[in-house]
Structure 1
Amino acid sequence: MSLRKFLTSSTFFKNLFFALVIVILFLVVFVKFLDFSTNHGEEIKVPDLSKMKLEIAEEKLDEDGLEVFLLDTVEFKPEFPPYTIVEQDPIAGSKVKDGRKIYVKLNAGGYAMVTFPDLKNKTFRQATNALRALGLVEGELKYVPDLAKDIVLEVSYNGRPVKAGDKLMKNSKIDFVLGDGKDMFKDEDLDSIPNNEQINDSIE
C-alpha cells in the first residue's frame, strides 16, 4: 500500500485517534499527579511564632510543611524574651502554600552598651536630650544649693558616680544632682567685696 493511500485509509485515522486519546489520558494523569504532589489548592494557616525560640519554631513549621528563614536580629525589646522571635512574615493567620518560607527576626540577648557622655555643668535639658539619644533614662533628681539652676553637678548609676567614657547598658537609669539656683552670697563673701571708702583709700 502506498503512503498516500495509507494516510487516507481508515486504519490511519483509527491509529491517530487512539494515539490522541492516549496522549490526552497521559496529560490528565500527569496534571492530577502534579496537583497531588504539590497540594494544589490546599492552603496552610501560618502559626503564631511570637516569643518562640528559633529551634521550636523550626520544629513547628516543619510539622506543617513550612520552612523558617532567619532574616536578622533586632535591637533588644524587653517585652520579648531574649533570642525569641519578635517579627514574622507572612504574619500569623495568613494562608500559604505548602513549602512556603516564613521569614523571622529574633530579639537580641540584651541591651547594647553605650558610651556615657560628658554631662557635667550642662543644663538638665541638654543632659536629658543626650541621654535619650543614647537610649538611657533619667532617674531620680536631687537639688542642692548652687548659684546656677538646673545645672548638672553630679551623675550616678545605682549609687555609683558615672563619668564621661564609662560603658553602660541602654535603658539604664541615671540619677542627677542639680543646682537649685538659690545659693546666695554669704556675709563673708560680701565682706570681701571692697566698699567705696576702701576703694578711695587705695586710690590715695
Structure 2
Amino acid sequence: MSFKQYVTSRTFFLQLLAAFAILFVLGYLFMHWLTFTTDHGNEITVPDLRKLTVEKAEEKLDELDLDYVVLDSVDFVADYPKHSVVTQDPVPGAKVKEDRKIYLKINSSGFTQVRMPDLVEKTYRQAVPTLKALGLEEGKITYKPYLGKDMVLEMRFNGKKLKAGEKVWKSSKIDLVLGDGKVVFEEAEDTTATKTETPENGGE
C-alpha cells in the first residue's frame, strides 16, 4: 500500500482519532492535577482583623487555616484599642490560598513623646504646620500686646509655659500666645522717662 493510499485509508483515520482521544484525556488529567495541587477554586477570603487583639486575630485565622506574622508596632492611634491590629496585608476581602501568611501591624501601648520645636518669633502660619508635622495639635490662641502681629511669643501646655526641646505627648494641644500687632504706649512713655532720669542721676 502506497503512502497516499494509507493516509486516505480507514485505518489511518481510526489511528488519528485514537491519538486525539489520548491527547484529550492526558490534557484533562493534567489540568485536573494542576487544579488539585494549586487548590484552584478553593481560595480563602481574608477576614477584617483591624481593632482585634493579636490573640483574637490568631483564633480567627486558625479557623481559616491562615497564618500571621507581626511586623512591628505603629505610633499610638487613638481610634484603635491598645495592642490591637491597625493594618494588615493582604487587606480584608482579598482572596488567598490556604496557609498564606497575613502580615500585621499592632497599635502601641500609648502615645509617644516628641520634643517641642522652637516656635518663638515664628509666624502663626509657620507654627501650625510645624506642630502638625510632629503629631501635635493647635490649641487655644490668645493675644498680647506686641508689635509683630501673629508672631508666636509663648508656647503653653495645660497652662504651663513650654521651652523648645521639652518633651510632650503626641496629639497634645499646644496653646499659642501671639502678638496683636499693637504698641503699648504706656511702656514707651516709661522707657522715655527712665532715659530722661538717667543723666540726672549720673550728674548727682
Tell me the TM-score normalised to structure 1 length.
0.68
Cα distance between partner residues in 1 of 2:42 and 2:194: 93
Aligned residues: 163
Deviations 1:116-148 (A, max 9, x none): 122223322232233222221111111122222
Shift of 1:166: 1.0
Change in 2 beyond 3 A, CA 1:153/1:84: same
- Opposite residue 103 of structure 2, the aligned amino acid is Y
What is aligned with 2:62?
62
Distance 1:125 1:82 in 2: 34
Q: Counterpart of 1:149 in 2: which secondary structure? A: coil
CA–CA distance in 2 between the matches of 1:66 and 1:159? 51
Q: Which amino acid aligns with 1:156?
A: R
- Provide the residue aligned with 1:101 in structure 2: 101
Which residue in 1 is equivalent to 2:166? 166
Which position in structure 2 is the counterpart of 1:73?
73
Per-residue deviation, residues 16-61 of structure 1 (Å, max 9, x unmatched): xxxxxxxxxxxx9xx98x94x9866422222111111111111111
Deviation of 1:192 (Å) = 4.5
Distance 1:188 1:75 in 2: 53
- Residue 177 (structure 1) aligns with: 177
Structure 2 equivalent of residue 21 of structure 1: none
Unpaired runs of 5+ residues, structure 2, are: 1-28, 196-204
Cα distance in 1, alignment partners of residues 178 and 165 from structure 2 = 21
Cα RMSD of the aligned pairs, angstroms, is 2.8
Q: Distance in 2 between matches of 1:142 and 1:81?
A: 35
Secondary structure class of the residue paired with 2:133: helix
Counterparts of 1:1-204 in structure 2, within 5 Å, are: 35=36, 41-186=41-186, 188-189=189-190, 192=193
What is the CA–CA distance in structure 2 between the aligned matches of 1:71 and 1:193, rounded to whole Å? 67
CA contact (8 A) 1:118 1:164 kept: yes
2:24 corresponds in structure 1 to none
Q: Distance in 2 between matches of 1:193 and 1:163?
A: 31
Moved over 6 A (4+): none
Check 1:123–1:95 CA distance in 2 against 1; reply closer, same or farther (3 A cut): closer
Q: 1:39 to 1:125 in 2, by over 3 A?
A: closer
In 2 relative to 1, CA 71–120 (structure 1 residues): closer, same or farther, beyond 3 Å?
A: same
Secondary structure at the counterpart of residue 82 of structure 1: coil
1:197 corresponds to: none
Per-residue Cα deviation, 1:55-104 (whole angstroms, up to 9, x for no partner): 11111111211111112222222222121112222222222222111122
Do the aligned residues in 2 keep the contact of 1:67 with 1:102 (CA within 8 Å)? yes
Inter-partner Cα distance in structure 1 for 2:45 and 2:126:
51
Tell me: CA distance 1:39–1:183, structure 2 relative to 1, closer, same or farther (3 Å): same
Displacement of 1:174 in angstroms is 0.6
Aligned counterparts of 1:97 and 1:130: Cα–Cα separation in 2: 45
SS of 2:87's equivalent in the other structure is: strand
TM-score, normalised with respect to structure 2: 0.68
Q: 1:162 to 1:138 in 2, by over 3 A?
A: same
